[in-house]
Amino acid sequence: MTNTNNNNMTFKKLCQLFCCPPWPGSITAKLAFMPPPPSYDFRRIESTEDRYAMVLKDGAHWIHSQSDLQKLEGFFVRTRRGNKIACLYVKCTSKPRFIVLFSHGNAVDLGLCSGYYIWLGTNLKCDILSYDYSGYGISGGSPYESNLYLDIAAVWRTLKLRYNASPENIILYGYSIGTVPTIRLAAKERVAGVVIHSGLMSGLRVAFPHMTTTLCCDPFPSVERVRKIRSPTLVIHGTDDEIIDFSHGLGLHDRCPAAVEPLWVDGGGHNDLEFRTVFLERLKRFLSDEVDRSAAAPSGDDFRLIFCCKV
């Protein structure tokens, strides 16, 4: 989500958002999306048609070695609406236990997240596939809620076709606004596991944390969709989250029938949980215990898991 003080979202301002212009997609864009200037570009790799090297710009803050850039492979996919979406596959280990489809949060793009992906994937011994939403980075189109769902659907299809990924080797992880497409997909697909990191129950509940009813015009209604998830689900939230109130993490956890023991980071904010030791410890335990235990249980359904990114 945006780094906006909730106290500034008065009833008058909310009415203005809903009345001018009177289109839900425009409302959602004003409330939620803040794409930064692109921090990267793609350069076609010689003798290939659809593989690109990532070229980072000065603001990307790359902290790894130049050789680590070889771990990044870019490509494009098309959504059913025709938007051209930039994707990044991060090869972190020779024998990954899972492939992580990472849907990142607001105010970042693939270039800004690329170093984080290498750090996270290396520590979890997973490869990561991430993508920029429509209107973010060098992806085409505009950032709307409906495009958010089409974007992840296109990447989900490509993950299975391009990388021949087996459902039981895919993990779905959503961070902040990235939890919105993650939860929607997890509600439809039986997956190995789901991670909801600093997620929101709905758009209006971010502005009004004490709301208890989901209105028909409420964008990002994850609080209703999370009830349909059947896969092991880890909810992570900071108790002092300054952007998405801690009550959102509690609400999503309480309503998810497949929720495992959550991680409530005492004193944690919205963008600093990965700096806590308990963050990696809990993720590793989730993958090795709850996810593996679920995968070993007899079931007639497929398991599919995707991992998504940060605000």
| Res 31: pLDDT | 54
Task: For residues 72 and 68, give the distance between their C-alpha atoms in angstroms, rounded to a whole number.
Answer: 8
What's 304's DSSP letter?
-
Whether 67 is a known active-site residue: answer no
Q: Where are the beta strands (DSSP E) in 57-125?
A: 72-78, 84-90, 99-103
SS3 label, residue 48: coil
Active-site residue, from 127, 151, 241, 245? 241
Which residues of the chain fall below pLDDT 70? 1-31, 292-311
Question: Of 114, 176, 198, 202, which is the active-site residue?
Answer: 176
Predicted local distance difference test score (pLDDT) of residue 6 = 45
Domains and CATH numbers, the chain: 9-36+74-296 (3.40.50.1820)
Distance separating alpha carbons of residues 249 and 282, to the nearest angstrom: 16
Cα separations in angstroms, 91 against 31, 85, 127, 189, 207: 34, 20, 5, 25, 38
Q: What is the pLDDT of residue 26?
A: 53
The pLDDT value recorded for residue 295 is 60
CA proximity to 133, closest of 123, 143, 124, 125? 143
What local confidence, expressed as pLDDT, does residue 18 receive? 43
Residue 33 contacts by C-beta under 8 Å, 6 or more apart in sequence? 2, 106, 133, 135, 143, 144, 177
Q: Give the pLDDT of residue 191.
A: 84
This prediction's pTM: 0.86
Q: What is the pLDDT of residue 293?
A: 66
Cβ 182 vs Cβ 222: under 8 Å: no
Q: Which of 104, 237, 253, 270 is catalytic?
A: 270
pLDDT at 301: 43
Of 92, 91, 76, the C-alpha closest to 132 is: 76
The predicted structure's pLDDT at residue 25: 55
**Residues in Cβ contact with 245 at an 8 Å cutoff, skipping those fewer than 6 apart:** 6, 206, 209
Annotated catalytic residue 176: yes
Residue type (1 letter), 73: E
pLDDT at 83: 98
